[in-house]
Structure 1
Amino acid sequence: MVSELLASLLAAAEGATVEFKEAKRGLERKDLFRYCIALANERGGKLVLGVADAMPRQVVGTTAFGDLDDARNAIYQATRLNVEIVEDLSTGSRVLIFLVPSRPIGTPLESDGQYLMRRGSSLVPMTPDRLQAIFAESVPDFSAEICSEVTLADLSPQAIETFRQLWARQSNRPHLLDLPDQQLLEDAELLVDSGVTRAALILLGTAKSLSRHVADAEIIFEYRHAEGDIDPAVRESFREGLFLYVNRLWALVNLRNEVHPYQMGLVRRDIPSFREEVIREALLNGVCHRDYRYRESIFVRQFPGLIEVESPGGLLPGVTIENMLFKRAWRNRLIAEALEKADLIERSGQGVDRMWRLAILDGKMPPDYSRTDEHHVYVRLPGTIHDPALLRFLEEVGAERYRTFSAMDFAVLHFVSQEQEIPKDFRGRANGLVDQGILERVGRKFIFARRYYEMRGEAGVHTRKRGLDRETNLFLVRNHLRSCGGKGCVLAELQPVLPHVKPRMLSSYLEELKRRGQARVIGKTKGARWYHLVGNDG
């Protein structure tokens, strides 16, 4: 007689909570882990092995995972999920039912750097919208809360008009210009049932109303002549609606914005230390992502050749310094939505991408988040040209080509220029740049195409990084064996001949010479001696 649990599963449609796999001869462990993660990301479910996935359900049995305790432990080690496994023999055939719990609230699970979900019978990466919704589960939207003591009179008519003009222009909806203020803000969801949201206050409030209700929602600008200076030469506080001061803040930065002349051939252009769009992105990211529960202000600190933005509250769950180029999350969604309507940001989360892209195109170091901790996010924006050769190289590549580059492509170029290891999540982009002739692959590493090193006056560096071709290396090894005569040599004595070649590769060269009849070996250990075979230099 079929068990109650199995009977209920056989009657269920494969969908949100159940996944059926025949797995007659077994299932790869990696696939098991991936399905557990996908089901957990969908708030939990059941994976059934030994049942056909077509209706009507047929029990076919499975030989997968004979040691269930071992399977449980393996799942936990790989996913940190406590999955219960039921072995059902009620039909006379063996069926395994994996009871997968939900992921933690606000935390999606990943496998090999991918947040997985199911689509039909396949596993696919989660969409950005799905991820954002998960990240938002554990982070209440402070900006959507209603300020019970605030009225429409606490908002600045000038700020409302600025918002109106920007929204009408961005959306191509001229009728917004004629709406009453209350209707405009209700349409933008900044007013809800006539109640003023914190987002409305932070973006549109008068100085008096912010001081009274959200005094910490301010930005403090400081300029110092050197990073070591204790007291700022200039200090100004902005405690009013963002739309009232965002342009004034940029004007303060721009007063001391040096320009770097750059020339390529007959074309000359000026590169500012700080681009307005980059500074605006860093500032607005702080406003959108800061934690307003912290009784602290956002600081914008400017030095010659450097700007630092410090905002209260650490990174959101699931977002790290390493993955912020492609992970999306919002702490204050309503603020982000309003700024998107005004065309000041893209709510899809492209701000960090844009800062990276513009920095690399200007030959500068990318945004540096390394000082970020669990209570503050720091981003440092270098303003000096660090790699003019990369800047010139990209000019030669041409705007039409690099416009198609993603921020991850530009990140790969930065990693290669700094001789850093390319992270796993970026290696696919590196291979794409190889296909375009921008990079070259040498073993497991990537280097620039030769033209880049020629621009630096370091063509020899390319030759060294690229290494000699295999036949040249074989020729050098054979010559060394010839010079050793009847004494021969051991593997270690060949290392100085090709100092950049690893011992394993040297061994492969010797074996190749042996196969060609150009060398022989006596012994089998590291002390084995290799000899040149006279008369076999063909």
Structure 2
Amino acid sequence: MTDALPSAESLTVEFKSDLKKLPDRELVEAIVCLANAEGGELWLGVEDDGRPTGLHVDHQMLAGLAGMVAARTSPSLTVRVSSVEAAGVCVARIEVPKAQGEVATNNGVYLRRRLKSDGSPECVPMLPHERISRASSFGLIDVSGQPVAGTTLADLDPLERERLRQAVQQYGGDRVLLELDDEALDGALGLTARLQDGTRVPTLTGLLLVGREGALRERVPTHEFAFQVLAQQAVRFNEFRRFPLLKALDWLETNFRPYNPEEEIQVGLFRVPVPMVDMAAFREAVANALIHRDYHRLGAVHVRLEDEALVVSNPGGLMDGVTLANLLVTEPRPRNRTLADAMKRVGVVERSGRGVDTIFRGMLKFGRPSPDYSRTDSHSVVVRLPTEPADLDFRRLVVEEERRRSAELPIDSLIALAAVRELKRVTAEELASRIQRDAASAKRTLEALTEAGLVEAHGNARGRSYTLSAAVYQRQGDKAAYTRQAGFTDLQNEQLVLNYVRQHGQIKRADVMELCRLGENQTKALLSRLKGDGRLTQHGTRRGSYYTTGPDAP
């Protein structure tokens, strides 16, 4: 963190005046408030408007401040305190870590920081359901495996049990489940739990999977989902339901199919369907929203078909440790473990827990953009699946390659092919961020595609870039495109740069990258070669550098 005083308060920045000596109780409560959100900095000796006014004389010895905070919080919170000079006065910066779970004052006060509608922060009481919700987001408790108060076995629906058994057969789930009687099935899937007196009662998972609708409505009032079709701002379909989850998935699929047109393409002797939305991706996205939502938060799971995308959203943000930058590679961290495990065994969702791969695959194999999670925040997960027309040539390429291999393309390879198709030329460094791995992994993926004859490498080891191969372009009947994307020879690139300098007087590195369509390392090598030959002269260093005609320029 920087020593510079922030300009304003935010979710992670709090200012506290110390002119009248801030009471220890208020200081500890403000620190607890930050810790129960995202952590951050508390600046003691700064007014609400950001003016530093300095520390009270009793607070100018900061050595014992961290110990006081640890003694007055439960569990003990470790903060870092440092002195900072601002506008000629001394203020204290207190760095507050994000609590792994929840923290209270030693008087039992739970507070959390949030943003008001105008964007300004405030501290509010942390209610019991919010504490449970936060603990579940860290994986500390599994509410889906807990008994639901006031329920009995009569709240479970025999018809929904039969639907569950049929789902095992339909989705290819764990067939061992088909051999179990009701009580054994309940135990295997965590649908019920035993109380201390030996009686069995439904868990949240039990109610959500095989509960009667009346019991669900009464005992799990947060459970609700909606299917909406919005066409050019007109509402064509808008219905909310509270069905058990397997019935919910059936209902959503049935109502979505009429809005999901499909065409076919010929690949060899076979006709391959090309739907507007891949049904495997649809099912995985919807099931994930229903399974991983926060059942302590009000709000429905929304499945909304818009003009340009299918959007699926659910209450409850990503689990702690899961970010948009590691969605593809992080270990699965379900909020509702018992429910997630049950749905995996039934076969509704990916057994490996890599359901995000299924959603990405369902988009990329048709030449459509990757799923867009950018609208996700701490309160909800939102995935947008663009419904733009498929790239039929790309779909043929994927189908042919997967038939040759007798297996699906690895997800990294599919992402790499999609990136080369979109960008025309990529480097390992550019691909690394897309597959959410390091450059070495990206290079291995590209080299494997090179060996398969799908892409070609250009340039030396450090500046190597990749394009679709000549064979792929030829198969698609576009030989000229290959010649364009394969790029110019080194000699042609040199002439392009020298002509540009003669015409414009100078050239920057970014100009060379755009002009010759080269990667950063290739550009460095080209400019270094021209400078070494005396044909260009460098002025300045780093980002501000530019090149003019050298003494040996032709």
**TM-score, scaled to structure 1:** 0.62
Matching residue of 2:6: none
Mapped partners of 1:217, 1:478: distance in 2: 62
Residue 407 of structure 1, CA deviation: 1.8
Mapped partners of 2:431, 2:536: distance in 1: 40
User: Residue 463 of structure 1 aligns to a residue in which SS?
Assistant: helix
Residue 313 of structure 1, CA deviation: 0.9
Larger Rg: 1 or 2? 1
Find 2:226's aligned residue among 213, 220, 223: 220
Mapped partners of 1:478, 1:361: distance in 2: 38
Per-residue CA deviations over 1:33-66 (Å, capped at 9, x if unaligned) read xxxxxxxxxxxxxxxxxxxxxxxxxxxxxxxxxx
What amino acid sits opposite 2:206 in the alignment? Answer: A
What amino acid sits opposite 2:289 in the alignment? Answer: G
User: Do the aligned residues in 2 keep the contact of 1:325 with 1:408 (CA within 8 Å)?
Assistant: no
Correspondence 1:422 to 2:431: yes
User: Do the aligned residues in 1 keep the contact of 2:160 with 2:210 (CA within 8 Å)?
Assistant: yes
After superposing the two structures, state which structure 1 stretch, 236-245 or 412-421, moved more. 412-421
Mapped partners of 1:490, 1:301: distance in 2: 54
Find 2:291's aligned residue among 283, 288, 292: 288
User: Do the aligned residues in 1 keep the contact of 2:227 with 2:302 (CA within 8 Å)?
Assistant: yes
Correspondence 1:530 to 2:552: yes
Correspondence 1:171 to 2:171: no
Find 1:312's aligned residue among 291, 312, 315: 315
Question: Is there any run of 5+ residues in structure 1 with no aligned partner, and where?
Answer: 1-80, 84-101, 108-133, 533-538
What amino acid sits opposite 2:455 in the alignment? Answer: L
What amino acid sits opposite 1:468 in the alignment? Answer: F
Find 2:203's aligned residue among 197, 221, 225: 197
Matching residue of 1:279: 282
What amino acid sits opposite 1:216 in the alignment? Answer: T
Correspondence 1:440 to 2:456: yes
User: Do the aligned residues in 1 keep the contact of 2:432 with 2:442 (CA within 8 Å)?
Assistant: no
What amino acid sits opposite 1:153 in the alignment? Answer: A
Mapped partners of 2:536, 2:98: distance in 1: 61
When the two structures are aligned, how many residues end up with a matched partner? 391
Find 1:431's aligned residue among 439, 444, 467: 444
Find 1:270's aligned residue among 270, 273, 279: 273
User: Do the aligned residues in 2 keep the contact of 1:151 with 1:196 (CA within 8 Å)?
Assistant: yes
Mapped partners of 2:206, 2:177: distance in 1: 22
Go from structure 1 to structure 2 and tell me whether the alpha carbon gap of 1:373 and 1:445 turns closer, same or farther (over 3 Å shift): farther
Please list, as runs of the form range in 1=range in 2, the aligned pairs for 1:135-534 lying within 5 A after superposition.
Answer: 137-167=138-168, 170-173=173-176, 176-177=179-180, 179=181, 181-193=182-194, 194-226=200-232, 228-229=233-234, 232-264=235-267, 267-303=270-306, 306-327=309-330, 328-401=332-405, 403-419=407-423, 421-424=430-433, 425-426=436-437, 427=439, 428-437=441-450, 438-442=454-458, 443-454=463-474, 459-470=479-490, 499-500=515-516, 504-510=524-530, 528-530=550-552
Please list, as runs of the form range in 1=range in 2, the aligned pairs for 1:18-33 lying within 5 A after superposition.
Answer: none
User: Do the aligned residues in 2 keep the contact of 1:409 with 1:430 (CA within 8 Å)?
Assistant: no
Mapped partners of 1:380, 1:355: distance in 2: 10
What amino acid sits opposite 1:338 in the alignment? Answer: A
Go from structure 1 to structure 2 and tell me whether the alpha carbon gap of 1:267 and 1:138 turns closer, same or farther (over 3 Å shift): closer
What amino acid sits opposite 2:431 in the alignment? Answer: I
User: Do the aligned residues in 1 keep the contact of 2:168 with 2:174 (CA within 8 Å)?
Assistant: yes
User: Residue 530 of structure 1 aligns to a residue in which SS?
Assistant: coil
Question: Is there any run of 5+ residues in structure 2 with no aligned partner, and where?
Answer: 1-77, 81-96, 103-134, 195-199, 540-546
Residue 241 of structure 1, CA deviation: 1.2
Mapped partners of 2:523, 2:294: distance in 1: 54
Per-residue CA deviations over 1:387-437 (Å, capped at 9, x if unaligned) read 333223324434243835322222222333332832344442343233332
Residue 334 of structure 1, CA deviation: 0.7
Mapped partners of 2:322, 2:457: distance in 1: 30
Mapped partners of 1:349, 1:478: distance in 2: 50
